[in-house]
Amino acid sequence: MPLHKIILDCDPGHDDAMAILLALGNPNIELVAVTTVVGNQTLEKVTHNARAILEFAGAKQIPIAAGCTRPLVRAIQNAAEVHGISGLDGTNLPEPTIPLDKRHAVDLIIDTIKANPPKTITLVPIGGLTNIALAVRKAPEITELVKEVVLMGGGYHTGNRSAVSEFNIAIDPEAAHIVFNEKWPLTMVGLDLTHQARPDDRIMAEIAALKTPISEFVVRSLNYYTAGYRQRSGRSDHAPVHDPCAVAYLIDPSIIDTQKAPVNIELQGALTTGMTVTDFRSQATTDCHTQVATKLDNPKLWAMFIDSLKRLDK
């Protein structure tokens, strides 16, 4: 398996926290920078959470920078009903002490890409796309310099913010429009895929049995997240854990099937704003720089996640 140097742009968020831990614990991922963006909660709260997670996991040296406080055009919307007032409700991480990088996230993203050889940095956005859109507008040359973009967001058959729109795209569809229309190779790990990413009681027991501070944090996070999900949905299974799927695709692409298809973002639908309109007609795939994730090997995802937790060994 190759080594992937990634920039994780996030809005933690319980599932963002799981994505950070998966990346930190896996030997095929080098987390070269973490950037934060308004989304699940305010920029201030998600940045605090990202610092707390990194420090708790022993990753004090990774540069972390705060980004955009609001979407490009639209008013702020958060996901407090899912992640709570803090963005990480149900958990109790120690107050972070690690410093924030002085730069704006957009500049940390651009600088990191330029400080590395061409096509060696992968962007992994797991929140709204505001920072990434601004980065590519400020420094258009990064389109050619990044290796690829693997993002959690969207969905070709389903939504969670509305019938057809997913939260990360819906909160800043104009930013998504910019990011999906740049000609970098882009993989959309959307809800069609992430709704398959669910632990079960046996997996939760396996995580709990690690009995490390990290595993306790994971159990608290996922228990809070699933309890709210069950209440809102009336379902009895575990909540889908979206964000680690984007990282998992890089670690081992064989656990996720993909299909090439052009994707565009609806910006002015009466009912469909924020929809990732995906064209599966075969003639549309020539010269296509985007692909969508379709099928997940869920047991392998959790085996990979538990492996990361063990390696973090805290």
Active site residues: 242
166 contributes a contact to Ca ion by CB under 5 A: no
Q: Which does 82 bind (CB under 5 to 8 A by kind): Ca ion, ligand PIR, none?
A: ligand PIR
- Interface with Ca ion, residue 127, by CB under 5 A: yes
Return the number of the residue (127 or 199) whose C-beta is nearest Ca ion: 127
Name the residue with the smallest CB distance to ligand PIR. 167
Question: Binding of Ca ion at residue 13 (CB under 5 A)?
Answer: yes
Q: Does 107 bind Ca ion (CB under 5 A)?
A: no
Distance in Å, CB of 79 to ligand PIR, minimum: 4
**4-12, 73-81, 112-120, 211-219 -> range binding Ca ion (CB under 5 A):** 4-12
Q: What span, in angstroms and rounded, lies between the C-alpha atoms of 309 and 314?
A: 8
Q: What residues line the site for ligand PIR (CB under 6 A)?
A: 13, 15-16, 40, 79, 82, 126-127, 152, 160, 166-168, 242-243
172 or 243: CB nearest ligand PIR = 243
Helix 105-115 × helix 130-138 angle, to 10°: 60
Query: What binding mask, one character per residue, do residues 229-248 give for Ca ion by CB under 5 A, x or -?
Result: --------------x-----
Shortest distance, position 264 Cβ to Ca ion, whole Å? 22
Is the alpha carbon torsion for 286, 7, 294, 127 positive or negative? negative
Q: Does 9 bind Ca ion (CB under 5 A)?
A: no
- Closest approach of Cβ 171 to Ca ion, in Å? 10
As measured in angstroms, the least distance from the Cβ of 167 to ligand PIR is: 4
Which of 40-53 are b and which e, b meaning 16 or more Cβ less than 10 Å from the residue's Cβ? bbbbebbbbbbbbb
- Residue 126 or 250 with smaller CB distance to ligand PIR: 126
Q: Which is nearer to Ca ion, 35 or 262 (CB)?
A: 35
Binding site partner of 79, from ligand PIR, Ca ion, none, Cβ cut-off 5-8 A by kind: ligand PIR
Taking the complex as a whole, the smallest distance from the CB of residue 60 to Ca ion amounts, in Å, to 22
Question: Which of 56/167 has CB closer to ligand PIR?
Answer: 167
Q: Binding residues for Ca ion, per CB under 5 A? A: 11, 13, 16, 126-127, 243
